[in-house]
């Protein structure tokens, strides 16, 4: 009986860990782009830190576990070296986070105009989308 309880706890813990989103602590670069347009890579320590802080603040909100089809979105990819850690798709009213690891669920959260001010500003400095009106 004791072994069965330990096995059940181990399976529950492993399941919970598999559903956690990737940590942003080792991110050292960020790639921002508008839909279908060339991206811009940010690797300056202060730039990356500010982008990560905004996204960590947004992660503090209540997210919904669900994937959504999105069109005409901007992308923020967080990198550790050349390796993608996680990617955020942004629309004016919604953010979706999709981890590189396909075993990690996709999450989304509604946003307002006051969310992500730095990222919104940086996205105006990268080439605009030519596919969205």
Q: What pLDDT digit, counting tens, does each position of 89-98 carry?
A: 999 999 999 9
Residue 109 lies in a domain: yes
* Domain total in the chain: 1
What's the CA gap between 124 and 93, in Å, rounded?
A: 17
Residue 14 lies in a domain: no
Joined tokens for residue 104: 């990690």
Residue 95 lies in a domain: yes
CATH of the domain at 93: 3.30.1490
The whole-model pTM stands at 0.82
- Placement of tokens 């919904």 in the chain: 64
| Rg from Cα positions in the chain | 17
Residue 13 lies in a domain: no
Identify the domain containing residue 26 by its residue range.
22-124
Residue 97 lies in a domain: yes
- Give the sheet arrangement for strand 40-42, strand by strand: 40-42, 29-34, 74-80, 83-91, 94-99, 107-110, 64-65
In contact, 121 and 108? CB cutoff 8 Å: no
Residue 119 lies in a domain: yes
Joined tokens for residue 87: 């990617």
Residue 76 lies in a domain: yes
pLDDT 10s digits, 58-113: 999 999 999 888 889 999 999 999 999 999 999 999 999 998 888 889 999 999 99
Residue 8 lies in a domain: no
């Amino acid at each position: 009986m004791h072994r069965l309880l330990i096995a059940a706890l181990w399976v529950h813990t492993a399941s919970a860990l598999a559903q956690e989103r990737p940590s942003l602590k080792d991110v050292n670069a960020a790639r921002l782009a508008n839909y279908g347009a060339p991206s811009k890579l940010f690797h300056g320590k202060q730039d990356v830190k500010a982008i990560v802080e905004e996204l960590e603040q947004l992660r503090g909100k209540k997210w919904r576990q669900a994937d959504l089809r999105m069109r005409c979105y901007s992308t923020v990819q967080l990198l550790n070296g050349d390796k993608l850690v996680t990617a955020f798709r942004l629309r004016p009213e919604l953010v979706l986070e999709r981890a590189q690891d396909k075993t990690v669920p996709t999450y989304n959260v509604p946003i307002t105009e006051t969310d992500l001010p730095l990222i919104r500003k940086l996205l105006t400095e990268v080439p605009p989308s030519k596919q969205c009106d």
